[in-house]
Homo-oligomer: A and B are copies of this chain.
Amino acid sequence: MIIVMQGKAGEGQVVAVVHRIVDLGLKPHVSKGEFRTIIGAIGDESLMRPEFFAGMAGVESVMPIMKPYKLASRDFHAEDTVFRIGGVKVGGTALAVIAGPCGIESAEQFRETALAVRKAGAAMLRGGAFKPRTSPYAFQGMGEEGLKILQAVGAEVGLPTVTEVVDVRDLDLVVRYADVLQVGARNMQNFRLLAEIGRLPKPVFLKRNPAATIEEFLMSAEYILSEGNRNVILCERGVRGFEKTTRYTLDLSAVPNIQGVSHLPVFVDPSHATGRRELVVPMALAAVAAGAQGVMVEVHPHPEKALSDGPQQLTPEAFAVMMKELAPIAQAVGRELQKPK
On A, residues with C-beta under 8 Å from B are: 2, 4, 7, 20, 29, 31, 33, 35-36, 38, 40, 42, 46, 49, 51-52, 54-57, 63, 65-66, 68-69, 75, 132-138, 166-169, 186-187, 189-192, 195, 209-211, 213-216, 219, 222-223, 226, 239-246, 249-257, 260, 270, 273-274, 277-279, 282-283, 285-291, 303-304, 306, 308-313, 325, 328-329, 331-333
B75 touches A35 (CB 8 A): yes
5 A–B contacts from the bound complex (CB under 8 Å):
A33-B42, A241-B242, A252-B286, A253-B279, A255-B282
B290 touches A282 (CB 8 A): yes
Chain A interface helix/strand/loop/mixed:
mixed
A136 to B52 Cα, complex, angstroms: 17
Copies in the assembly, this chain: 4
Q: In whole Å, how far is A135's beta carbon from the nearest beta carbon of chain B? A: 6
Q: In whole Å, how far is A39's beta carbon from the nearest beta carbon of chain B? A: 12
Taking a contact as CB atoms closer than 8 A, the residue among B38, B42, B69, B283 that contacts A65 in the complex is B38
CB neighbours of A313 from chain B (8 A): 55
B210 touches A244 (CB 8 A): no
A189 touches B243 (CB 8 A): no
Closest to A291 in B: B282
Taking a contact as CB atoms closer than 8 A, the residue among B75, B249, B311, B329 that contacts A332 in the complex is B329
B289 touches A136 (CB 8 A): no
CB neighbours of A189 from chain B (8 A): 132, 134, 186
A192 to B304 Cα, complex, angstroms: 28
